[in-house]
Amino acid sequence: MELTLEELNNLKYDYKSLCVETESFILDKIKPSLVQGVSSRTTYYWKNGEKPIQVKYLIDLCKENKIINIPVKTISVNGGNKIDIPKQNNSFAYFLGILLGDGCLMISKDKGRKKSYALQISANKKRFANKIQNIAKNLFGISGSIYPGEGCYNLCIYSKALVLFLNSVYDIPIGVKYCTIKVPSKIKTKEEIIYFLKGMIDTDGNFYLHKNKTCFQLRQKSGDFLNGIYDLFHQIDIPVNRPYYDKANNSWVIWASKTSVVDKFINETSALKH
């Protein structure tokens, strides 16, 4: 995936320990003056792709050479437990829809005050949890574990690098999400939008019968977020109804009951491959 210099700069949440693997045409430009205090052996490993380079030095390198789009292959913390950074594709868009539907990013502390970074997604069926686990494995090279919960199955992926990447580049909030949740700005093409919406419907949405007609709805705590989802539907010419507040359930709802609208969404998503 290509990250802009601004996106790479956002990763300095953990500036000193976060490392990335990138392409040789960037690493070939490493000069001793840019990496003062770093041994020549380390810079040799960087240039030959044998060790990942710290984000701090990569940013300096790209600024010096006026490189604004940086291909990033992996991200790791101090070079260990790396995750693959996939090209932005339909499967990734679907995963983001699932994550923003029934998932979250978390940071917790144990008794020793050590922080744990995790991604968690809840699924009502074990088969769906397995499906999400396989998608994560294909995307990031890390699959996590599935644990039974109260009426659900929780997929947990413990990875500091993954949490920081999704938070910094895709604005996925850490912790309680409904106050700041929003549609990722990097979801742009029609196919990406369709896959993202399918991920949302597969988690926070459902199809139901009303007066012998098939309808669908999508429910969220955040009205602002659902307004963003409403805009996505209309960008791909699926004119769902504007979100309304359901006071009884303290949530916001998008819905569609018009046969032509429901059929179009079903037709657009029925042949999707994840």
8 against 193, higher pLDDT: 193
pTM of the model: 0.90
Q: Is position 180 within any domain?
A: no
Among 50, 84, 118, where does a domain finish? Answer: 84
The span from the CA of 141 to the CA of 138, in Å, is 6
pLDDT tens profile 57-98 = 888 888 888 888 999 999 998 878 899 999 888 999 999 999
* Residues of the domain holding 77: 2-84
User: Which residues lie below 8 Å from residue 37, measured CB to CB, with a gap of 6+?
Assistant: none
Compute the average pLDDT of residues 137-163: 93
Among 84, 112, 128, where does a domain finish? Answer: 84
Among 27, 51, 84, where does a domain finish? Answer: 84
pLDDT tens profile 180-237 = 899 999 999 999 999 999 999 999 898 989 888 999 999 998 999 999 999 999 999 9
The span from the CA of 181 to the CA of 225, in Å, is 6
Contact 92, 48 (CB under 8 A): no
The answer on 80 and 33 residing in a single domain is yes
| The pLDDT value given to residue 13 | 58
Q: Is position 55 within any domain?
A: yes
pLDDT band for position 99 (50/70/90)?
very high
Q: Is position 134 within any domain?
A: yes
The answer on 265 and 202 residing in a single domain is yes
User: Which residues lie below 8 Å from residue 22, measured CB to CB, with a gap of 6+?
Assistant: 53, 58, 70, 71, 72, 73
Measured over the CA atoms of residue 26, residue 27, residue 29 and residue 30, the dihedral's sign is: positive
Counted domains in the chain? 3
Q: Is position 179 within any domain?
A: no
Q: Is position 31 within any domain?
A: yes
Look up the CATH number of the domain holding residue 146: 3.10.28.10
Q: Is position 159 within any domain?
A: yes
- Widest pairwise Cα distance in the chain: 73
